[in-house]
Structure 1
Amino acid sequence: MDLELRHLRIVCTIAAAGSITKAAGELGIAQPALTAQLRRIERIFGGPLFDRDRRGVQTTPLGDLVVARAQLIMPAVAGLLDDAARLSGAGRSALPDQVSIGASTSSILAPLIRRLTESLPEVTVGTTASWSADELALELGAGRLDFCVAGVCGGSGPPGDPGLEWRTFSVDPVFVLMPEDHALARQTEVTLADLADAQWAATPGDGCFEACFTQACVRAGFTPRSLYVADAASCIEMVTSGTAVALCQATRILPGLVTVPLKDAPLRWIHMIGWRPDSSVAPLADAVHRSVERAHADLVGRSEVYSAWLTEHPAFGPAAEPAPTSGVDGDLRAITPTV
C-alpha cells in the first residue's frame, strides 16, 4: 500500500485527539475500521506510531517524526491546490452545483446523502439505484451519471470502460442472512458446509455469481440444493419465512433476521467509487470519495456483528487492499452478495 495524504491526516487526527475512539468520531470512521487503517499505516512506516494504554494513545519517537513532517506537508499541499485552482480557473466557483450518483448498494444512499450534505452543502445531489454495477458503469461512461458507487466480486476488475477511474474504499467479507430462530443463528461463525442442506436465495448479479458460489460450495464438500433468483424483497421474504438462507453484505441489518460470518471469510466483496477523470465533476472526486468512506463507515459502525468481526480481521474493511484472485478456476474468494 502506498502512502497517501489521507493517511497523514489520520495520524495527525489521532495524535491531536489522544484517543482512537475520539479520532474515529472526528473522522466519521468506525473505531475498529480506524484501528485497522492505523495498523496498515504503521506497516508503511515500518513501526508503531503510537503507544496505547487505558488513558489513550501517545506518539512514539517515530510517531513524533511523522506528525511533525505531516504538519508541514498537509498545509503545503493545500496551498498548492489553491494556487493551482486560481491559475487554472478551476476555483470553487467553477465547480458544478449538482452531481448525480448511482449505487448498486442501495443501503449506502441514505448515509451518503447525509455525509455529502455535510461536506458539500452547496452541491445538490441526485441519486439512482440499480442492482447491476455494469449498468451503472455504462451510465457513468455515457455521462448520465457523475459518480458510481458499485461492488464487484473479489475476482473481478472494475466494471465498465477502462477510461473510468475507480478507487476501492472497502473490502468486505460476505456473511449469511438467516432468521433469528434458525438453528445456527446464535453461532459466532459458520462454514458453508454447515449449510450444506440449506436452500439459497439470491438477487440477480453481474458476472460469475452462480459459478463462483457453486464452486465455493463444492470446495466445502457439497453441491447447493437450490439457488432461487428473485428481487430483494422476495429474497428477504424467503429468508424470513425459513424457506432459504441468503448471502448478504456484512453491513446488512434487517428486523427479525441475523447476519452470521462465514469461517475464514471464503467470499469477499470489493466496494468501489468511480468517475470520469475528464468530467467537470472530477475536482469533487476526493470530497465525494471521503463522503463515501464515511457513509460506509456509518453502516459498519451500526452493525455490532461486523464491527466485532473487523476487530479480529484487520485485513478487511475500509481501505483494505483487494487481494488478487484468479476467478472461477482459482482461489475462490469472490462472490456477489445478494441481499
Structure 2
Amino acid sequence: MDLELRHLKTVRAIAEAGSLTRAATALGLAQPALSAQLKRIERTLGGPLFVRGRDGVRATALGDLVLDRARVVLPAVSGLQEEAVRFARDGAAPGPRLGGTHGPLLGGLVDRLARADPDARVSTYTSWSEREVARGVVAGRLDFALVGVCGESPPPEAGRLAWTEVARDPVYAMLASGHPLAARAQVALAELAAEEWTDVPGDGCFGDCFAAACVRSGFTPARVYEADTASCVHLVQVGRAVGLCRATFPATPGVVTRPLTGAPLIWRHLLGWHPEGRAAGRAAAVLAYARDAHAEALARSAGRTPADAPP
C-alpha cells in the first residue's frame, strides 16, 4: 500500500481526538474499520504510530515524526488546491502571501509590492506570535514572514527558514505628552523605575530582555499591562503607564517617544522565507521593499527630531 494524503489525515485525526473511538466518530467510521485502517498505515510506515492505553492513545516517536510531516504537507496541499481553484477561476496567479506581527512595516511592504505589480494578489496574515507566523511559512501557507527579535536572539524556525535582517532599531520609551520627562531628548531606563508599563504580547524573548535590562538599571517593573497596540497607546495617553516601542512608531496624538539612554534594548526587523519555497526567487526584491518601507517609517516616526534629519 502506498501512503496517501487521506492516510495522513487519518493519523492527524487520531492524534487530535486522543482516542480511536472519538476519532472514528469524527471521521464517520466504525471503530473496527478505523483500527484496521490504522494497522495498514502502520505496516506501510514500518511500525506503530500510537501506543494505546486506558486513557486513549499517544503518539510513538515514529508517530511524532509522521505527525510533524503531516502538519507541513496537509496545509501545503490544501493551499495548493485553493490557489489552483483561484487561478482557474480568475486566470491570475496568486501574489506573495505575507505574514507579520504588529508593526509599521507590513503595510509599507504591501503598498510597495502592489505598486510594483498592480495585478499581484498580495495577501496578508497577522499574529502576535512570531512563531505562528514562521510556522505558516514552514507549512507553505505563507511565502514571507516579517517579524522581529530582541538583540541577537535567533529567529523562530531558524533551522528551516532563511532569515535576513531588514534593519535594527533601538527600543524607545513611549510617554504621555504631559509626562515630566517628555521634554527630554532621551530618557534613562532607571528614571522610569517607579512607572507601570504596557506592551503588546509576543512569544519571543523580549519580555525577558526587558526585565533583564530593568534589573541592570536597578529595579524591577512594578506592573506590565499586556494589551493590543491601541490599548497600549490609550494607557500611555491617559498616564496610566509608560510603554515600549520601536523607533519606527508613528506620530500619535498625546504620545511622545524617546530613545533610552545607552540603547539597552535593540529590536531587529527580519524577513524570512523557505529556501525551497515558491517565492524564494523573489526574496531579494521583497527584502529591498521591506528596507525601503523601514526607511520611510523611520522618517515619519514619532521620535524623529530635527537632529536626526539628513544634511
TM-score (norm 1): 0.60
Report how far residue 97 of structure 1 moved.
Answer: 4.2
Of 296, 304, 307, 1:298 maps to 296
Q: What is the distance in 1 between the residues matched to 2:186 and 2:179?
A: 13
Q: Residue 203 of structure 1 corresponds to which residue in structure 2?
A: 200
Q: What is the distance in 1 between the residues matched to 2:281 and 2:119?
A: 15
Once the two structures are superposed, what CA deviation does each residue of 1:224-282 show, in whole Å capped at 9, x if it has no partner?
21112222222222111101001111111222111111011110001010111111211
- Greater radius of gyration (CA): 2
Report how far residue 180 of structure 1 moved.
Answer: 0.7
Q: What is the distance in 2 between the residues matched to 1:308 and 1:96?
A: 45
Letter in 1 for 2:280: A
Of 250, 258, 261, 1:260 maps to 258
Q: Residue 221 of structure 1 corresponds to which residue in structure 2?
A: 218
Report how far residue 283 of structure 1 moved.
Answer: 1.3
Identity of aligned residues (%): 43
Q: What is the distance in 2 between the residues matched to 1:97 and 1:309?
A: 44
Given the superposition, is the C-alpha separation of residues 170 and 306 from structure 1 closer, same or farther in structure 2, using an over 3 Å criterion?
farther
Report how far residue 96 of structure 1 moved.
Answer: 5.3
Report how far residue 128 of structure 1 moved.
Answer: 1.4
Given the superposition, is the C-alpha separation of residues 195 and 228 from structure 1 closer, same or farther in structure 2, using an over 3 Å criterion?
same
Q: What is the distance in 1 between the residues matched to 2:233 and 2:196?
A: 13
Letter in 2 for 1:239: V
Of 180, 185, 209, 1:183 maps to 180
Q: Residue 28 of structure 1 corresponds to which residue in structure 2?
A: none
After superposition, where does 1:125-136 map in structure 2 within 5 Å? 125-136=122-133
Q: CA RMSD in A?
A: 2.0
Q: What is the distance in 2 between the residues matched to 1:116 and 1:308?
A: 31
Given the superposition, is the C-alpha separation of residues 161 and 210 from structure 1 closer, same or farther in structure 2, using an over 3 Å criterion?
closer
Given the superposition, is the C-alpha separation of residues 211 and 109 from structure 1 closer, same or farther in structure 2, using an over 3 Å criterion?
closer
Q: What is the count of residue pairs matched by the alignment?
A: 218
Given the superposition, is the C-alpha separation of residues 210 and 309 from structure 1 closer, same or farther in structure 2, using an over 3 Å criterion?
farther
Given the superposition, is the C-alpha separation of residues 307 and 144 from structure 1 closer, same or farther in structure 2, using an over 3 Å criterion?
farther
Q: Residue 149 of structure 1 corresponds to which residue in structure 2?
A: 146
**8 Å CA contact 1:105, 1:151 repeated in 2:** no
Q: Residue 236 of structure 2 corresponds to which residue in structure 1?
A: 239
**8 Å CA contact 1:106, 1:129 repeated in 2:** no
**8 Å CA contact 2:256, 2:302 repeated in 1:** no
**8 Å CA contact 1:178, 1:259 repeated in 2:** yes
**8 Å CA contact 2:150, 2:209 repeated in 1:** no
**8 Å CA contact 1:300, 1:307 repeated in 2:** no
Q: What is the distance in 2 between the residues matched to 1:309 and 1:116?
A: 32
Report how far residue 308 of structure 1 moved.
Answer: 5.5
Given the superposition, is the C-alpha separation of residues 219 and 165 from structure 1 closer, same or farther in structure 2, using an over 3 Å criterion?
same
Q: Residue 165 of structure 1 corresponds to which residue in structure 2?
A: 162
Report how far residue 107 of structure 1 moved.
Answer: 2.1
Q: Residue 282 of structure 2 corresponds to which residue in structure 1?
A: 284
Given the superposition, is the C-alpha separation of residues 158 and 211 from structure 1 closer, same or farther in structure 2, using an over 3 Å criterion?
closer
Once the two structures are superposed, what CA deviation does each residue of 1:98-146 show, in whole Å capped at 9, x if it has no partner?
1110111342222212211233334221011112111100111000001
| Unaligned residue ranges in structure 1 (runs of 5+) | 1-94, 313-339
SS at match of 1:127: strand
TM-score (norm 2): 0.66
Report how far residue 305 of structure 1 moved.
Answer: 2.9
Q: In the alignment, does 2:271 pair up with 1:273? A: yes
Q: In the alignment, does 2:140 pair up with 1:140? A: no
**8 Å CA contact 2:249, 2:302 repeated in 1:** no
